[in-house]
């Protein structure tokens, strides 16, 4: 069957696509329907027909799926932030678990029964709202010229006004009200992406969930905000407000934060805690947005690393050292690698404030630093100076069981937590050459995870555990942890 634009068909939704859209078939021809839920019987109108599939608009839910939910947020539909609020949380978790499973099978080429036998149930949230510790609200004007703060509509930069996002913290609204009132009182214009005129671009808000500390950073297309001291004073009156700053971004692209920052009041950074470890966070730092799930994710990673205390561990893509410091509590030595120099500065500082002395950090690409350190290690080893035990150089690298104080370049366990594009081929190749006993792979994209898992499996590693952790309820993002053991 071929379909054309404006055709109307009634279909049963059977599956969910990568962005949470419903997928159903009309005589075998797949249709992607935003807002439709697996199990729904829906009447849809074809909007765009391609050769092998089409996008269709949801006209009517003829028979609702049992997995359908009423979105609690009034702007859930137009807002580009949440794509799954209309799906029950239970079904969201099921979808995410299946996504990891199916990618490992179809992209990774693993046996379905085997994957089912090693998969553990997804870790969801008890309260799957108000979990984000960070929000970046674009500031603009509505059709009537009123100042608005909110989120971009899906695939556009139209702002859907919403100061009280259901994924965010309750303080967001109070902070935005103060900033927008100040803009109004001082006649400050929001930035216009088309003309590049106007001053205020975004308001970034962060909260340390464990400490309650709050940070506000106003991102402006200029050097100074009129009466910024007055604004800072008002913001500092909010309970637990710890940091108020300005970030200068005069660029014409979509990047939110500029390089130049200036503190208006309070401290440069806020502190948050995960378990017993404190982390200093700046406006620019990468920090997992879901504090509650972050702890569960790291703990799961730690379980899979199964450290006994004498291991040398690498944490590749370490950001501000969160996972590294978690691992350092249980390992002999941890080495972290991260591409952003400021994040490594934060990581070193975080080690210091926690009194952690067995973590060392390197700036650079994982695919460059790891091979470099490994080559240096091999060279030393060949010269017979490779193995150090408790600080003493020892010449008999050969056949020793000593696994203490190994220099950088050696690994018992390698943990990776790459961005969505996954690990670089050179990085995986080096991991295989270094042959650690275990590899723990934390991933925010099951497709690249599956691709890389296949490379590890072909290189002699057995995939022994798989577990998804829901870091992003109400959205289609999927996070997972896998454990590999050297055969």
Residues belonging to the active site: 444
Q: How far is the CB of 206 from ligand SAH (least distance, A)?
A: 14
Footprint of ligand SAH on 201-240 (CB under 6 A): none
> Comparing C-alpha atoms, which of 165, 240, 232, 170 is closest to residue 210?
240
Q: How many residues does the chain have?
A: 487
Q: Give the contacts of 308 (CB within 8 A, at least 6 positions apart).
A: none
Tell me the per-residue interface mask from 329 to 368 with ligand SAH, x by CB under 6 A, - otherwise: --------xxxx--x---------------------xxx-
Stretch that binds ligand SAH, among 179-187, 256-264, 286-294, 302-310 (CB under 6 A): 286-294
Q: How far is the CB of 340 from ligand SAH (least distance, A)?
A: 5
Is there a contact between 199 and 220 (Cβ–Cβ < 8 Å)? Answer: yes
151 vs 361 by CB, closer to ligand SAH: 361
Is there a contact between 370 and 427 (Cβ–Cβ < 8 Å)? Answer: yes
Q: How far is the CB of 241 from ligand SAH (least distance, A)?
A: 24
Q: Contact with ligand SAH (CB under 6 A): which of 66, 74, 384, 419?
A: 419
Is there a contact between 442 and 465 (Cβ–Cβ < 8 Å)? Answer: no
CB atoms within 10 A of CB 120: 13
Is there a contact between 400 and 394 (Cβ–Cβ < 8 Å)? Answer: yes
Q: How far is the CB of 419 from ligand SAH (least distance, A)?
A: 5
Question: Considering just the CA atoms, what is the radius of gyration of the chain in Å?
Answer: 25
365 vs 403 by CB, closer to ligand SAH: 365
Say how far apart CA 175 and CA 426 lie, in whole Å: 45
Is there a contact between 279 and 271 (Cβ–Cβ < 8 Å)? Answer: yes
Q: Contact with ligand SAH (CB under 6 A): which of 174, 295, 417, 452?
A: 417
61 vs 340 by CB, closer to ligand SAH: 340
199 vs 318 by CB, closer to ligand SAH: 318
In the sheet where 119-123 sits, what is the strand order? 119-123, 461-469, 479-486, 438-443, 413-416, 312-316, 333-338, 359-363
221 vs 322 by CB, closer to ligand SAH: 322
Give yes or no for residue 281 binding ligand SAH (CB under 6 A).
Answer: no
Is there a contact between 369 and 335 (Cβ–Cβ < 8 Å)? Answer: no
Tell me the per-residue interface mask from 237 to 276 with ligand SAH, x by CB under 6 A, - otherwise: ----------------------------------------
Say how far apart CA 276 and CA 81 lie, in whole Å: 31
Say how far apart CA 103 and CA 314 lie, in whole Å: 26
Exposed/middle/buried for residue 98 (C-beta within 10 Å: 0-12, 13-18, 19+): middle
Q: Contact with ligand SAH (CB under 6 A): which of 115, 264, 318, 456?
A: 318
272 vs 338 by CB, closer to ligand SAH: 338
Q: How far is the CB of 421 from ligand SAH (least distance, A)?
A: 8
Stretch that binds ligand SAH, among 68-76, 191-199, 282-290, 402-410 (CB under 6 A): 282-290
Q: How far is the CB of 89 from ligand SAH (least distance, A)?
A: 24
Residues facing 42 on adjacent strands: 11, 61
Q: Which residue is nearest to ligand SAH (CB)?
A: 319
Give yes or no for residue 288 binding ligand SAH (CB under 6 A).
Answer: yes
125 vs 318 by CB, closer to ligand SAH: 318
Give yes or no for residue 286 binding ligand SAH (CB under 6 A).
Answer: yes
Residue 16 has which token pair?
A: 């969910």
Q: Give the contacts of 458 (CB within 8 A, at least 6 positions apart).
A: none
Say how far apart CA 218 and CA 169 lie, in whole Å: 17
Enumerate binding residues for ligand SAH (CB under 6 A).
Answer: 286-288, 317-319, 322-323, 337-340, 343, 365-367, 417-419
């Amino acid at each position: 069957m071929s379909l054309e634009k404006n055709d109307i068909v009634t279909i049963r939704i059977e599956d969910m696509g990568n962005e949470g859209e419903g997928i159903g078939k009309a005589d075998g021809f797949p249709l992607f329907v935003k807002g439709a839920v697996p199990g729904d019987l829906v009447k849809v109108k074809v909007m765009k027909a391609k050769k092998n599939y089409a996008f269709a608009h949801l006209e009517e839910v003829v028979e609702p799926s049992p997995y359908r939910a009423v979105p609690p947020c009034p702007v859930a539909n137009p807002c580009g932030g949440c794509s799954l609020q209309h799906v029950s949380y239970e079904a969201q978790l099921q979808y995410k678990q299946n996504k990891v499973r199916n990618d490992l099978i179809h992209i990774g080429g693993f046996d379905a029964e085997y994957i089912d036998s090693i998969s553990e149930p997804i870790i969801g949230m008890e309260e799957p709202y108000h979990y984000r510790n960070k929000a970046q609200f674009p500031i603009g004007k509505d059709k009537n010229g009123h100042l608005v703060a909110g989120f971009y509509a899906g695939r556009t930069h139209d702002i859907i006004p919403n100061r009280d996002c259901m994924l965010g913290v309750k303080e967001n609204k109070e902070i935005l009200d103060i900033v927008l009132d100040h803009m109004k009182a001082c006649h400050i214009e929001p930035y216009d992406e088309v003309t590049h005129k106007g001053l205020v671009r975004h308001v970034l808000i962060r909260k340390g969930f464990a400490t309650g500390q709050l940070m506000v950073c106003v991102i402006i297309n200029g050097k100074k905000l009129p009466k910024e001291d007055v604004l800072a004073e008002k913001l500092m009156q909010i309970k637990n407000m710890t940091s108020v700053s300005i970030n200068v971004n005069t660029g014409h692209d979509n990047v939110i934060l500029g390089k130049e920052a200036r503190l208006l009041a309070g401290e440069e950074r806020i502190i948050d805690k995960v378990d017993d470890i404190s982390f200093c966070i700046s406006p620019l730092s990468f920090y997992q947005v879901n504090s509650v799930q972050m702890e569960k994710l790291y703990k799961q990673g730690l379980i899979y690393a199964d450290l006994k205390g004498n291991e040398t561990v690498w944490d590749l893509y370490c950001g501000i050292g969160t996972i590294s410091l978690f691992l350092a509590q249980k390992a002999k030595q941890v080495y972290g690698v991260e591409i952003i120099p400021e994040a490594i500065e934060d990581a070193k500082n975080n080690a210091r404030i926690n009194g952690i002395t067995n973590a060392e950090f390197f700036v650079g690409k994982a695919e460059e630093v790891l091979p470099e350190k490994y080559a240096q290690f091999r060279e030393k080893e060949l010269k017979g100076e490779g193995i150090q035990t408790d600080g003493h150089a020892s010449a008999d690298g050969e056949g020793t069981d000593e696994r203490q104080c190994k220099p950088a370049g050696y690994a018992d366990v390698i943990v990776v937590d790459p961005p969505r594009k996954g690990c670089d081929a050179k990085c995986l190749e080096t991991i295989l050459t270094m042959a650690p006993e275990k590899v723990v792979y934390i991933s925010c994209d099951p497709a690249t995870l599956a691709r890389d898992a296949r490379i590890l499996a072909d290189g002699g590693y057995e995939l022994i555990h798989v577990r998804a952790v829901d870091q992003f309820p109400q959205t289609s993002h999927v996070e997972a942890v896998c454990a590999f053991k050297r055969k």
